[in-house]
Chains A and B, each alone.
Chain A
């Protein structure tokens, strides 16, 4: 029994961080980007599938966001990773995380 618990804990410890990262990316995206980029919001609706992954990366690398993003570098990396993971050319494009 103890062995099983240890094994399960090991598996969970390996699996959970990646799940948390994926969930955290979407959550952070909705919180930080979705506050303005929403239907009737201050800016047009945006979703990861609006651009290809490499295009998202270049977009932020060039500092093209028109207004200052109040995100730490680490959080911005999480958002960009989420955008690229669900970009238009990804295996799992997300086109309606923020409803249009």
Chain B
């Protein structure tokens, strides 16, 4: 560069002379100007020298040369990190969530057959329980999903198992501290089917159905309305989507099959009890559901259910459990209507109707000690004592919830529910989330609650339930025990944390 400038300067000087010379002219300038030009040339020379030195700086040279490589290394490092994260994510096939509920109840029960019948009274001013749930889900493939939940539900300071726990309620009754399988099922949407079909197999999501989600302050948890079926059940369900045919949003029809009882030997897992003590009890059901046309965020469910060869044991009447058998079949029908946030008012409404009809077939013996007659054995059948009399029952469940638009308090909710069941009302609500299985009430139940969200993960619920029983043995299908004047009052508070 230096050479170039010197050469250029010399050439300029020479060419100036030459041109001048060529023209026979001589350039004359003041000495000061000439010195100024020389100084300017000197300055330029120094600048060139400086630039050459700067260019030659080893650190900058290295830095400039290293830039592409460093970038490549950074990119490689990012890729390595992505590989690790992606590999870990793909290995973590199951997502976990949890729920923790602590509840205290203050209840008063009078004239109830569980505590001695007319004239009896039972009161507990603070009864505490804990419920822990571990929720799981996984997207196994694009069209294959797994959902599961295991539960430990226990009273404070109590590790005894619940004597009324069975396969349909073991995760919903407070018992020992062991984990129980609440639900575990796979949803499979086969590809290439001519109709939109989904198969659900496993331990089904058939507990805490509509409208339970309003009171539980969560999303819908079950396919079936809770008035008809609320519990745990193993089975297979086929769902056919009808939206493309009917044009009604979320419309579909479900065909469900469950086992309510399966005769098996506890010593040989794949065989019946020797001699075949009882027939299996099967439940088959059809459910049609849709969003009500023209009503946003609504639900209509029409249900028809048949339960064959229902079983009975005198254990549930306080007997020894030595007597058990099949006592008949039952049909169950239902209509459920629900609309959330009606015309943006913050009000959620629901109405659920149920109808049941028994087809009795036989009795079992119930042996007990009578205060006057000593040991007595009497036959009991399907809501009868003769094994043949058929009964029909009905129930209604209605209510509302209002979300108070008060942001400073995280929009608390207040709700009221009422249900009435006739003398012979019976449905499959053994696994109800309600502590007193209120939807099985043969009589009237009133339920008032207030939900206070503290944040997105924690809320409290304060409530009062009053039940007036008109007929005995609500929730039980064994025997015909007549009228009841029992009453229940329950105040409670619970804290629910979900994450």
Binding site for B on A (CB under 8 A): 50-55, 59, 62, 64, 66, 88-89
Contact = CB atoms under 8 A, between A and B. Distances in A.
A53 B91 CA distance: 10
Interface of B: 76, 79, 83, 86-87, 90-91, 93
Contacts of B91: 52, 88-89
Contacts of A50: 87
Nearest to A89: B90
Contacts of A88: 87, 90-91
A54 B86 contact: yes
B75 to A, nearest CB: 9
A12 B230 CA distance: 54
Contacts of A89: 87, 90-91, 93
Contacts of B87: 50-52, 55, 88-89
B404 to A, nearest CB: 47
The 10 closest A-B pairs by CB, nearest first: A52-B90, A89-B90, A52-B87, A55-B83, A51-B87, A55-B86, A88-B87, A88-B91, A55-B87, A89-B91
Contacts of B76: 64, 66
B83 A59 contact: yes
Contact of B90 (A54, A62, A64): A54
A90 to B, nearest CB: 10
23 contacts: A50-B87, A51-B87, A52-B86, A52-B87, A52-B90, A52-B91, A53-B90, A54-B86, A55-B86, A55-B87, A55-B90, A59-B83, A62-B79, A64-B76, A64-B79, A66-B76, A88-B87, A88-B90, A88-B91, A89-B87, A89-B90, A89-B91, A89-B93
Contacts of B79: 62, 64
Nearest to B93: A89
A49 to B, nearest CB: 9
Contacts of A64: 76, 79
Nearest to A66: B76
Contacts of B90: 52-55, 88-89
A59 B84 CA distance: 12
B452 to A, nearest CB: 43
Contacts of A59: 83
Given A52-B86, A89-B93, 17 more contacts: A50-B87, A51-B87, A52-B91, A53-B90, A54-B86, A54-B90, A55-B83, A55-B86, A55-B90, A59-B83, A64-B76, A66-B76, A88-B87, A88-B90, A88-B91, A89-B87, A89-B90
B142 to A, nearest CB: 14
A50 B90 CA distance: 12
A89 to B, nearest CB: 4
Nearest to B76: A64
Contacts of A54: 86, 90
A84 B86 CA distance: 14
Contacts of B93: 89
Contacts of A53: 90
A50 B86 CA distance: 11
A57 B86 CA distance: 12
B227 to A, nearest CB: 44
Contacts of A55: 83, 86-87, 90
A86 to B, nearest CB: 13
Contacts of A66: 76
- Counting chain B CB atoms within 10 Å of each CB, the highest count among A51, A53, A62, A89 belongs to A89
Contacts of A51: 83, 87
B82 to A, nearest CB: 8
A27 to B, nearest CB: 25
B41 to A, nearest CB: 53
B395 to A, nearest CB: 49
B241 to A, nearest CB: 30
B453 to A, nearest CB: 38
A44 to B, nearest CB: 12
Nearest to B79: A64
B315 to A, nearest CB: 45
A53 to B, nearest CB: 8
